[in-house]
Amino acid sequence: MRQIQMVDLKSQYEKIQNEIDASVLDVIRSTQFINGSEVKKFQEDLENYLGVKHVIPCGNGTDALQVAMMALDLKPGDEIITTSFTFVATVEVIALLGLTPVLVDVLPDTFNIDPESVKKAITPKTKAIVPVHLFGQCVHMEPLMELAKEHNLHIIEDNAQAIGADYIFEDGRRQKAGTLGIIGCTSFFPSKNLGCYGDGGAVFTNDDELAKKLRVIVNHGMEVRYYHDSVGVNSRLDSVQAAILRIKLKHLNCYAGARNKAARYYDKAFANNPRITTPVRSKFSTHVFHQYTLVIDNLDQFALQNFMGEKGIPAMIYYPVPMHMQKAYQDPRYKEGDFPVTEKLSKTVISLPMHTELDEEQLKHITDSLLEYLK
């Protein structure tokens, strides 16, 4: 059996190696490492794929969130509502910009931000909502979009984990995750669904003015060279990464298919175990399975992780400590017990290997081992 990995980037690379190697070599020979033609072409490819007017590539997903908030002129004291059950980057940039993160709980079935809790958290200082499409499935956006309209709030989607997923509106209309808010943000970190071979990220918007502003911000606040009209950052996607992403983007739908196939295998194997809750498929989103995350009753996560490890199976806990219980984000407004769903999830979730290259032999070993542990 091939070694089981949480994300098997090597096997994936081997299948597209000729194309990748040739493209990377082309960039090297062109010596257009920064802002080369590959970056422009990737931007256009991604705009077409997502059906969005503007894609602005940047250095990574964390920067994407930061430049989005900078472009919206959010100011210290402004409150930004987001979820406590997320990767730290979401909350980090809010804090870095001197904005106030207002954390809320998630729904127990999708692990995504609870629109009712968002509603209750809105104050006159609220300026934006940052829904995180966690683990590959969209947040229920329509209630958030209504709240945003009613209270004049921006929606910035953290789409680092759900690129390629479709949001399904109540009327059946579909739209790509990350293109519903005023700005969508994504990451091309290697283990993400559309991962490059280093760091990378992008923001998306349908707003022409904002797109212009975002392009200036990621380039030192500079529209005309050496004239700086606003404070910006240096956040670029390099040409080598863009060339790799152009190739991988062509496979993104197939990759989502492979992830779904592995997910169905897991679902079936765990269906009859009363302690295991398999991932829910919400009716307003397709699932691209960035992670396959189980909730297991009465679980000692670390003991299970060790047991699986001894069988050669990596398993991860995303995320063991909610944001409101992190040392760096302590806030007198929050204490343990405030977000019961998030807190319970953080103690009972376990994510299994999920990537595009899992074969049946590996899946069988993983599911047999987990069921053996629970016996």
Ligand X SMILES: *Cc1c(COP(=O)(O)O)cnc(C)c1O
Q: Give the binding site for ligand X (CB under 6 A).
A: 60-62, 86-87, 89-90, 132, 158, 160-161, 187, 189, 199, 201
- Please give the residue whose beta carbon sits closest to ligand X in the complex: 61
Q: Which residue has the tokens 């984990």?
A: 161
* In the complex, minimum distance from the CB of residue 225 to ligand X, in angstroms, rounded to a whole number: 27
**DSSP H stretches of helix in 319-359:** 340-348
**214 and 170 Cβ atoms separated by less than 8 Å:** no
* In the complex, minimum distance from the CB of residue 85 to ligand X, in angstroms, rounded to a whole number: 10
Beta strands 79-83 and 100-104, pairing class = parallel
* In the complex, minimum distance from the CB of residue 340 to ligand X, in angstroms, rounded to a whole number: 22
CA distance 333 to 187: 30
* In the complex, minimum distance from the CB of residue 69 to ligand X, in angstroms, rounded to a whole number: 13
Which is closer to ligand X, CB of 285 or CB of 367?
285
**DSSP H stretches of helix in the chain:** 9-15, 17-30, 37-50, 61-71, 89-96, 115-121, 141-151, 208-217, 239-270, 301-310, 340-348, 360-374
**188 and 209 Cβ atoms separated by less than 8 Å:** no
* In the complex, minimum distance from the CB of residue 251 to ligand X, in angstroms, rounded to a whole number: 20
Which is closer to ligand X, CB of 134 or CB of 243?
134
The tokens for 86 are 């997320």
CA distance 63 to 43: 17
- Chain-centroid distance of CA 97 in Å reads 21
Which is closer to ligand X, CB of 68 or CB of 145?
68
Which is closer to ligand X, CB of 24 or CB of 160?
160
Which is closer to ligand X, CB of 189 or CB of 334?
189
The tokens for 180 are 């519903």
Question: Strand pairing partners for 83?
Answer: 104
Which is closer to ligand X, CB of 193 or CB of 356?
193
* In the complex, minimum distance from the CB of residue 134 to ligand X, in angstroms, rounded to a whole number: 7
